[in-house]
Amino acid sequence: MTEVGGPQLDQVRRLITAIPGPRSIELQARRSGIVAGSIGTTLPVFIERAGGGVLVDVDNNSLIDMASGIAVTSVGNSAPHVVENVQEQVAQFTHTCFMITEYEAYVDVCEQLNRITPGEHAKRSALFNSGAEAVENAVKIARSFTGRAGVAVVEHAYHGRTNLTMGMTAKHHPYKKNFGPFASDIHRVPNSYPLRDGRTGEEAAAHAIRRLSVEGGVDEIAAIVIEPIQGEGGFIVPAPGYLAALAEFAAENGILLIADEIQTGIARTGEWFACHHEGVVPDLITTAKALAGGLPLAAVTGRAEIMDSVHVGGIGGTYGGNPVACAAALGAIQTIEELDLIGAARNIETIMVPRLADIADRTGVIAQVRGRGALIAVEITTPGSLDPDPELTKRVVAECHRQGVLVLSAGTYGNVLRFLPPLVMGEQLLLEALDVISDAFDTAI
Ligand code: PLZ
């Protein structure tokens, strides 16, 4: 693996103070009186610099980053090509609004997306600011193209925090609590959760299709929207064949398949997209997060005839495809190809999975190690059962944080410990993070 990262930061874990340190505690106190209390924070540490696989805080502690800002800084923070492109663009012009006057970087990003997304058919792309906005637009496009209103989503899904995407998201707390009413015409059907449903991919798909037929009405469904590997839901990898069976059903019934690859896309899983692993070609695909190496940018890419079917002016927004974000995206895609970060993601899986399996064998509290590439998780349960253990999960997370390794939890039941290291993380640093995680289990149990 290659070690890069904008600021040439030592790729080491360094604990100078307790975590959080005194300066972070001071800033946290200041924040509490100023920033809305509704915005949560996983680890109340303020960051000063970041690069490669580390985050350096205001107390000069160097933390190992196993989160990438939720799968965003896959190319590392401040990756050189991202920094160069952004600096050049920001000095030339910062905004025109692509709906007012155009610029080439927008076209370049769409061209790259059309190239790297699954399928060899003619494609078009449109750019937005956030993942939720991309999902909303994908649904708008699907409704306009099909003339149907219904949207099918699956159990444990996460699609965002706007009104429509909240309705499409499964988990009530914290995402939906007190925020209704939600949009109508959303139908939730069973996912494939091999650890818990004991079904093959085909069986799980048949189950979902039966439910959708009865409760949704097949000929009123515009689209099935699905994460090929569920992210916030707990890195749930469907059984082989589930996605393909849904895709086939959709194609036969005039329903569009929309793959939400906002978390799984852009090299994270050891392919450009998670759909590539299953040989599934969605009609539309949403991207965001890692697309622009840390700047806000999102996209919908899809079949030309679908994307071009919407009336002119029907899709847009002031900032969508901002030139600085587009410049960053071109730098991120270049970095992925130059450094073979798709290969790096696979290498991360090869290193992580056996080490996590060892922890599972030793402790008996991990029901499953799963994921693909650099999107890996363990599901934590009470020994000998499938009962979720969110309390133990919290203790493991807290212990990792105390030891300077930033990890995240996930899962509908809060019992999944997930890992999303930057793809540029060096092997030594990754092994050190795994040692800390292993010790954290021993301390927390
Ligand atoms: N679709 C698959 O993973 C964002 C959410 C964090 P935005 N996931 C992280 C949080 O608690 O808000 C996500 C995703 C999938 C859509 C989204 C939404 O992307 O850029 O956060 O709007």
Amino acid of residue 222:
A
pLDDT of residue 1: 35
Average pLDDT taken over every residue of the chain: 97
- Rounded to the nearest angstrom, the distance between the alpha carbon of 175 and the centre of ligand 1 is 11
- Rounded to the nearest angstrom, the distance between the alpha carbon of 160 and the centre of ligand 1 is 5
Considering the domain delimited by 22-75+340-444, tell me its CATH architecture: Alpha-Beta Complex (3.90)
- Rounded to the nearest angstrom, the distance between the alpha carbon of 79 and the centre of ligand 1 is 22
131 lines ligand 1 (CB under 6 A): yes
Distance CA 233, CA 388 (A): 13
pLDDT of residue 292: 98
Q: Which ranges constitute the DSSP H helices of 192-322?
A: 194-197, 201-215, 242-252, 274-278, 304-307
State how far the alpha carbon of 274 is from the alpha carbons of 259, 267, 340, 442, in Å: 9, 8, 17, 33
- Confidence check: pLDDT of 373 > 90: yes
- Reported pTM: 0.97
Query: Which ligand 1 atom is the nearest neighbour of the CA of 230?
Result: 2
Q: Which ranges constitute the DSSP H helices of 238-322?
A: 242-252, 274-278, 304-307
Q: Which ranges constitute the DSSP H helices of 179-232?
A: 194-197, 201-215
pLDDT in tens, 137-193: 999 999 999 999 999 999 999 999 999 999 999 999 999 999 999 999 999 999 999
pLDDT of residue 85: 98
- For the 81-338 domain, the top CATH level (class) is alpha beta
pLDDT in tens, 193-252: 999 999 999 999 999 999 999 999 999 999 999 999 999 999 999 999 999 999 999 999
Token pair for 417: 């410990």
Mutation probe of ligand 1 site: the residue of 127, 263, 297 with most atoms within 8 A of C-beta: 263
pLDDT of residue 6: 47
Mutation probe of ligand 1 site: the residue of 73, 159, 420 with most atoms within 8 A of C-beta: 159
Where residue 427 falls among pLDDT bands split at 50, 70, 90? very high
pLDDT in tens, 118-131: 999 999 999 999 99
232 lines ligand 1 (CB under 6 A): yes
E strand or H helix at 375 = strand 375-380
Domain layout of the chain by residue ranges: 22-75+340-444, 81-338
- Rounded to the nearest angstrom, the distance between the alpha carbon of 399 and the centre of ligand 1 is 26
- Rounded to the nearest angstrom, the distance between the alpha carbon of 44 and the centre of ligand 1 is 20
Amino acid of residue 105:
A
Look at ligand 1, atom 1, and give the residue with the nearest C-alpha. 159
pLDDT of residue 8: 79
- Confidence check: pLDDT of 7 > 60: no
pLDDT in tens, 267-284: 999 999 999 999 999 999
